Each structure stands twice: as C-alpha cells, then as structure tokens.
Amino acid sequence: MKNKHYEPPFTVDTPNVITPDLLEPIEYAYKSKRSIDIKITQPEYTSVCPMTGLPDNGTIIIEYRPDAHLVELKSLKYYLMQYRNVGMFYEHVVNKILDDLVLVIKPLYMKVTGEFTPRGGISSVGSAEYIKP
C-alpha cells in the first residue's frame, strides 16, 4: 500500500516564516559574580502537522546557563507564537528553537525539550543540546 500525502484543507505556513528577530537578549547583570541555571516552561506550545495540517500541542522546556545575556520572556512568548500555523515535525521544532536561541543569546549551555501531546496513542519527547565550545 502506497503512503498518501494528505493536503490540509487550509493554509499551513512553512518554517521560513519563523524569525529569531523577535527574540530580545537582555544583559545578565551577575555574569561576573556567579552562574545561574534557568528553566523556562511553555505548556501551551502549538503548531501543525506538516503532513495533515492537524494541530500539534505540547510543552516546550528551555534550560540554559547564560553567559552575558538572558532571553527576555515576552519576546520568547511572541517568538514561540510564530509556530502556531507552521507545519513542522517535532524533531525539527526542537532543533529550530535551540538554534535560534543560541544565535541570539549565546549561552554557555542550553537544552530544549519538546514533550508533545499523544496522538493516536503515541507520545513523543525530543531534546537537543548546545554546549559553548
């Protein structure tokens, strides 16, 4: 049996609409005194399946140790909202978020995890890490 690619009955954006320009770095004022580990949880992440256009939901967890900059949280919220109508596989979502955040805030360490809501009885969790060389 041949796999069919189903065309969604509505418009699904491509990943090229997502821009890291919305992310705002802010100075980490305690850089010279101590490190800090930060964990950000976004439990209302949404995008769409690139194959069917059906909604994908989950939790995005961002853990990082900043160098000179933090990510401003409102800018992160608006950045993540860009994914709402974008068709992307889970694994690509996690890597794209990591790449964009590393580009903007240049952390010492960062890990992005996506815990996606089960669909059809299958759940998926993916993580990607960055360590500053």
Give the model confidence (pLDDT) of 63-103 as tens digits. Answer: 999 999 999 999 999 999 999 999 999 999 999 999 999 99
Task: At 43, list the tokens.
Answer: 């439990």
Topology adopted by domain 17-131? GTP Cyclohydrolase I, domain 2 (3.30.1130)
Dist CA 114 CA 62 (whole Å): 9
Residues marked active site are found at: 49, 56
| Percent of the chain residues past pLDDT 90, beyond the cut | 79
Confidence (pLDDT) at 52: 83
**What's the pLDDT at 1?**
47
- How would you class 17 by CB atoms within 10 Å of its CB: exposed for 0-12, middle for 13-18, buried for 19 or more? exposed
Q: Is 100 helix (H, G, I), strand (E, B) or coil?
A: helix
- Would you say how long the chain is, in residues? 133
Percent of the residues in the chain that have a pLDDT greater than 70, as a whole number: 92
Q: Where are the domains of the chain?
A: 17-131
Q: How far apart are CA 116 and CA 105, in angstroms?
A: 25
- Residue 7's pLDDT is 64
What is the overall mean pLDDT for the chain?
A: 92
- Tokens coding 82: 């860009």
**13 DSSP β-pair partners:** 86
The strand pair at 122-131 and 69-71 is best described as unpaired
Residues with Cβ within 8 Å of 17's Cβ and at least 6 positions away in sequence, in order, are 82, 86
